[in-house]
């Protein structure tokens, strides 16, 4: 896998395959399962809780918490370790994998969010279907990696360098100068590497075809492997490919020694400027790597040095700003800038939602059977009773459980609308329209039955912001759709990456809104604790606050 660092140095890195990634994912899943079992053990024995009885008595809590837990596991687990763990979850760390961006560095918050939110696309239509198919064709990346510009690399344990292996295989043998080309040298190096550990007889037997394609090498009677190694070592003093391989070995050793001092594994020499020594060694290694790449040295011979350069970049990089500062910028600058910039799309989605809601209202108000078909029997029965589900919430006191359930449902809807935008934006608009028809049908059927007042009392505190957040999530889906349908002069992959990053900011804005209005919907909307005018005030204040958050981007720009 070829990556280009910020200094324009090409790194050739071993990409992780489907099997390695699956093993890492299984380890992470097992870790989460063990944590769940541990929590269950503590709850049952140390806390002396009766899980079976508690589940039967609090099914709403259970469903809500399970929904939120799955959602958090799906996205936040990987995001947390990508950003704070240097691109490695515990599973990836054990297998030796790391997520890196296009410059070889660990992904930042926005890149990781985009990569993991698009896991919802990778999981379509069932299981991990899309992700496996994309990995099959790319060999290294699932769909989320393609869009986010990330790749999972394998940080293989460094063994003996190829030049050291050649010198060891050569022993004390000397050869006459062989008239070899660079291709001859590479064939000999490849054979010596592949026959590591074989005895002379086996190496001679396997070497017949290699020797047939190479000019004769003196030293009949010695092991073929030793003859080839000696020839390459001899040519390393003459120049060409063999000399380049030796220089690659030397700069790698120098960089490794400097890093050992920098990281405390070796003592520095008296008067040694460790930082300058590492910088000089890294520059020399990068120069040799760039020259070797231009000379078409095989990637497998450059992977070890590329991985070491990545390690040196991590070791020399200035400390990142505190996570709190990065989050503050993300929420105070990045999110409102994106939302305000996409306000036209938010208005378009709002138009689709309004038209769909109007159609649903007319259908629900004119025909009870159509309304019941659109809403489902359970919801229709609650509307017919006059108070929807609010009486049950009041009676059973399930305020927190209701909030959690609503938050999980709304956030899930927002994420699906965003992810489905990759189908050209049509699926995102269909999802918004579906919600609009259902909402309109609720109001239409309530109007037909004369219970619209109770419904209005319930919805007025949270409805304005909730509907606005649905429109913002729909606009995020349109960002992906725009990249697919009309990338302009950009490549479609680059357009997906840029528009996806913008969409992630919109999704983050909508998620915060869903968290707030879900809490209001569970604790404030159902009750009789406040006069109707207070509920109206809560709805207006919340909407103004979120509008002000989005509007703050244009104010700061002035």
- Residues 534-544 have pLDDT tens digits of 889 999 999 99
Q: Is the pLDDT of residue 57 over 60?
A: no
Q: How far is CA 235 from CA 161, 241, 243, 344, in A?
A: 17, 8, 7, 67
Rounded to 10°, the helix 200-212/224-235 angle is: 60
Average pLDDT, stretch 321-328? 81
pLDDT level of residue 412 (50, 70, 90 thresholds): confident
Indicate whether 6 pLDDT > 90: no
pLDDT value at residue 549: 94
524 CB-contact burial (10 Å; exposed 0-12 / middle 13-18 / buried 19+): buried
Measured CA to CA, the distance from residue 120 to residue 134 in angstroms comes to 14
C-alpha Rg value of the chain to the nearest Å: 31
Q: What is the pTM of this model?
A: 0.81
Asked if the model's pLDDT at residue 481 lies above 60, the reply is yes
Lowest mean pLDDT among 220-224, 444-448, 465-469, 511-515: 220-224
Instruction: Say what the pLDDT of residue 495 is.
Output: 92
**pLDDT of 557 higher than 50:** no
Residue 2 φ then ψ, to 5°:
-100, 125
Q: How would DSSP label each residue in 426-459?
A: HHHHHHHHHHHHHHHHHHHHHHHHT-HHHHHHHH
Give residue 411's pLDDT band: very low, low, confident or very high (50, 70, 90): confident
Indicate if the pLDDT at residue 221 is higher than 70: no
Report the range of poorest mean pLDDT among 43-52, 242-251, 297-306, 513-522. Answer: 43-52
- CA angle 495–497–503, rounded 5-degree value: 95
**Could you identify the residue written with the tokens 């305000």?**
340
Per-residue confidence band for 355, with pLDDT thresholds at 50, 70 and 90? very high
What's residue 479's pLDDT? Answer: 94
Q: Which two tokens stand for residue 41?
A: 């053990």
Place of tokens 């007042």: 453
Query: What average pLDDT does this structure show over 430-450?
Result: 89
CA separation for the pair 480, 487 (Å, rounded): 10
> How does DSSP classify residue 6?
T
Does the pLDDT at position 56 exceed 60?
Answer: no
Mean pLDDT, residues 22-31 taken together:
91
Q: What is the pLDDT of residue 558?
A: 43
Q: For 233-252, what is each residue's pLDDT tens digit?
A: 988 888 889 999 999 999 99
Residue 295's pLDDT is what?
85
More confident residue, 80 or 375: 80
Whole-number Å distance between alpha carbons of 484 and 424: 6
88, 100 Cβ separation under 8 angstroms: no
With a cut of 70, say whether residue 68 has pLDDT above it: no
Do 254 and 281 meet the contact criterion of CB atoms below 8 Å apart? yes
Q: In the predicted model, what is the mean pLDDT of residues 167-181?
A: 83
Q: E-assigned strands of 191-240?
A: none
51 to 259, 379, 396, 404: CA distances (angstroms): 53, 30, 20, 20
Rounded average pLDDT over 81-109: 91
User: Residue 4 pairs with which residues in a beta bridge?
Assistant: 10
How far, in Å, CA of 6 to CA of 304, rounded? Answer: 19
pLDDT at 52: 56
2: which strand partners?
Answer: 12
> pLDDT tens digit string along 182-203?
988 998 898 888 887 777 677 7
Alpha-carbon distance 400 to 247, whole Å? 66
pLDDT at 97 over 90: yes
pLDDT band per the 50, 70, 90 thresholds, residue 323: confident
Give the helix ranges, DSSP H, for 386-531. Answer: 390-396, 399-419, 426-449, 452-459, 463-485, 492-523
Average pLDDT for residues 346-357, to the nearest whole number?
A: 95
Q: Is the pLDDT of residue 30 over 50?
A: yes
Structure confidence at residue 396 (pLDDT): 66
Query: Which residues lie across from 12 on neighbouring strands?
Result: 2
For 458-491, letters b (16+ CB in 10 Å) and e give bbbbbbbbbbbbbbbbbbbbbbbbbbbeebeeee
């Amino acid at each position: 896998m070829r990556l280009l660092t910020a200094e324009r140095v090409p790194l050739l890195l071993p990409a992780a395959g489907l099997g390695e990634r699956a093993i890492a994912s299984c380890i992470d899943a097992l870790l989460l399962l063990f944590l769940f079992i541990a929590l269950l053990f503590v709850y049952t024995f140390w806390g002396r809780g009766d899980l079976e009885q508690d589940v039967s008595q609090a099914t709403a809590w259970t469903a809500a918490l399970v929904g939120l837990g799955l959602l958090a596991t799906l996205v936040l687990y990987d995001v947390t370790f990508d950003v704070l763990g240097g691109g490695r979850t515990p599973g990836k760390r054990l297998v030796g994998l790391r997520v890196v961006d296009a410059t070889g560095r660990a992904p930042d918050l926005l890149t990781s969010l985009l990569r993991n939110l698009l896991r919802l696309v990778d999981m379509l239509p069932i299981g991990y279907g899309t992700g496996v198919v994309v990995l099959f064709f790319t060999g290294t990346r699932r769909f989320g990696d393609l869009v986010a510009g990330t790749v999972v690399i394998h940080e293989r344990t460094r063994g003996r360098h190829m030049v050291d292996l050649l010198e060891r295989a050569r022993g004390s043998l000397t050869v006459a100068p062989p008239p070899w080309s660079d291709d001859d040298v590479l064939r000999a190096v490849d054979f010596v590497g592949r026959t590591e550990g074989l005895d002379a007889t086996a190496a001679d037997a396997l070497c017949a075809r290699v020797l047939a394609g190479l000019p004769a090498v003196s030293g009949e009677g010695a092991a073929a492997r030793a003859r080839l190694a000696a020839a390459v070592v001899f040519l390393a003093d003459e120049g060409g490919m063999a000399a380049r391989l030796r220089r690659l070995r030397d700069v790698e050793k120098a960089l490794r020694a400097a890093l050992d001092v920098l990281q405390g594994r070796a003592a520095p020499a008296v008067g040694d400027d460790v930082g300058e020594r590492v910088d000089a060694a890294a520059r020399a290694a990068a120069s040799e790597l760039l020259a070797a790449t231009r000379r078409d040295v095989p990637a497998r011979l450059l992977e070890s040095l590329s991985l070491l350069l990545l390690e040196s970049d991590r070791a020399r990089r200035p400390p990142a700003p505190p996570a709190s500062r990065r989050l503050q910028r993300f929420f105070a600058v990045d999110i409102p800038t994106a939302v305000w910039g996409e306000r036209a799309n938010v208005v378009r989605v709002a138009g689709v939602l309004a038209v769909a809601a109007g159609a649903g209202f007319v259908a629900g108000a004119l025909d009870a059977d159509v309304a019941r078909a659109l809403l489902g029997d359970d919801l229709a029965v609650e509307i017919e009773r006059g108070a929807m589900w609010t009486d049950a919430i009041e009676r059973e006191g399930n305020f927190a459980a209701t909030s959690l359930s609503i938050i999980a449902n709304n956030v899930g809807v927002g994420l699906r609308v965003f992810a489905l935008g990759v189908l050209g934006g049509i699926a995102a608009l269909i999802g918004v329209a579906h919600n609009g028809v259902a909402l309109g049908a609720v109001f239409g059927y309530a109007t037909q039955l004369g219970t619209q007042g109770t419904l209005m009392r319930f919805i007025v505190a949270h409805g304005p912001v909730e509907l606005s957040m649905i429109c913002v999530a729909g606009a995020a889906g349109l960002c992906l759709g725009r990249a697919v349908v009309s990338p302009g002069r950009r490549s479609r992959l680059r357009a997906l990456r840029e528009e996806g990053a913008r969409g992630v900011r919109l999704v983050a804005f909508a998620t915060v809104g869903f968290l707030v209005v879900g809490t209001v919907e569970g604790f404030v909307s159902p009750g009789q604790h406040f006069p109707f005018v207070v509920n109206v005030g809560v709805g207006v204040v919340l909407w103004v606050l979120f509008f002000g958050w989005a509007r703050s981007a244009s104010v700061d720009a002035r």
